């Protein structure tokens, strides 16, 4: 499977979701490749940190990672898909040639959305991009996942975002909501997923959310 994590707006937590899913796939002994198409290179840095973990800090499965940029990404992803069971593509937060190229060949795209009004407005842009891509890539399935949602039950932004689904042509919402939790930052700094944190850093709720997202995306392939 080629899975694209991308959005038209930056700062929605794309790399956080990509790296956590990559770690989960690796821990399930899947043959995976993390493709970083964002010039900031955050996903590549995470993979490098994971490689540098000392043996006495734990036994964590390596995640192979490469950086790819430009219009050749379509051809590169098609070639790589014959060599890896799963490819996870981390796209930068903008309408870019990398995002459009990956849309033309990926099986699924998950679009992280922070449930704030300005982020919600960007969904119409992604809805159009996905609709255009589906003309040529008919297997493409697109979902929006609310990310960094407030843990405060009194905040109603998440429900407001979910109510937008009927206005979208090509996007549907994931059944999973990822909430703002410090465990995600702690894991990222160490090259880990939230499911790999131990002792005082472990947040069972964060781990449950990532596990639920993993099952929604990859459960049919198990």
- The residue-averaged pLDDT of 117-133 equals 88
Domains along the chain?
A: 2-221 (3.40.50.300)
**Percent of the chain having pLDDT more than 70?**
94
* Average per-residue pLDDT for the chain: 90
Residue 200: band (very low, low, confident or very high) from pLDDT cuts 50, 70, 90? confident
- 221 pLDDT more than 70: no
51 Cβ neighbours under 8 A, 6+ residues apart: 62, 191
Spatial separation of the C-alpha atoms in residues 21 and 17, rounded to whole Å: 6
Spatial separation of the C-alpha atoms in residues 141 and 2, rounded to whole Å: 11
pTM over 0.85: yes
- Residue 29 backbone dihedrals phi, psi, to 5 degrees: 60, 30
H-assigned helices in 8-137:
14-27, 42-51, 73-80, 97-103, 117-121, 123-136
C-alpha dist (Å) from residue 136 to 7, 99, 203 = 20, 15, 42
Residue 55: band (very low, low, confident or very high) from pLDDT cuts 50, 70, 90? low
- 56 pLDDT more than 70: no
* Element holding 92 (H helix, E strand): strand 86-93
User: Quick check: helix, strand or coil at residue 89?
Assistant: strand
- 58 pLDDT more than 80: no
Angle at 166 between CA 163 and CA 168, to 5 degrees: 110
Q: β-strands 86-93, 108-113: how paired? A: unpaired
């Amino acid at each position: 499977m080629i899975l694209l994590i991308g959005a038209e707006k930056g700062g929605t937590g794309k790399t956080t979701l990509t790296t956590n899913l990559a770690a989960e796939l690796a821990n399930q002994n899947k043959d995976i490749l993390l493709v970083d198409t964002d010039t900031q290179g955050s996903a590549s840095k995470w993979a490098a940190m994971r490689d540098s973990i000392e043996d006495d800090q734990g036994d964590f499965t390596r995640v192979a990672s490469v950086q790819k940029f430009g219009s050749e990404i379509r051809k590169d992803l098609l070639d790589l898909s014959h060599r890896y069971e799963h490819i996870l593509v981390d796209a930068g937060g903008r309408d870019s040639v990398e995002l459009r190229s990956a849309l033309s060949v990926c099986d699924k795209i998950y679009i992280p959305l922070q449930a704030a009004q300005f982020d919600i407005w960007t969904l119409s842009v992604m809805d159009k991009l996905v609709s255009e891509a589906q003309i040529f890539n008919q297997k493409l399935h697109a979902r929006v996942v609310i990310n960094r949602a407030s843990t405060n039950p009194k905040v109603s932004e998440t429900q407001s975002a979910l109510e937008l689904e009927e206005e979208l042509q090509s996007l549907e919402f994931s059944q999973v909501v990822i909430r703002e939790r410090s465990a995600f930052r702690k894991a990222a700094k160490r090259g880990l997923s939230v499911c790999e944190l131990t002792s005082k850093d472990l947040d069972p709720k964060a781990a449950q959310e990532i596990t639920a997202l993993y099952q929604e995306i990859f459960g049919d392939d198990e």
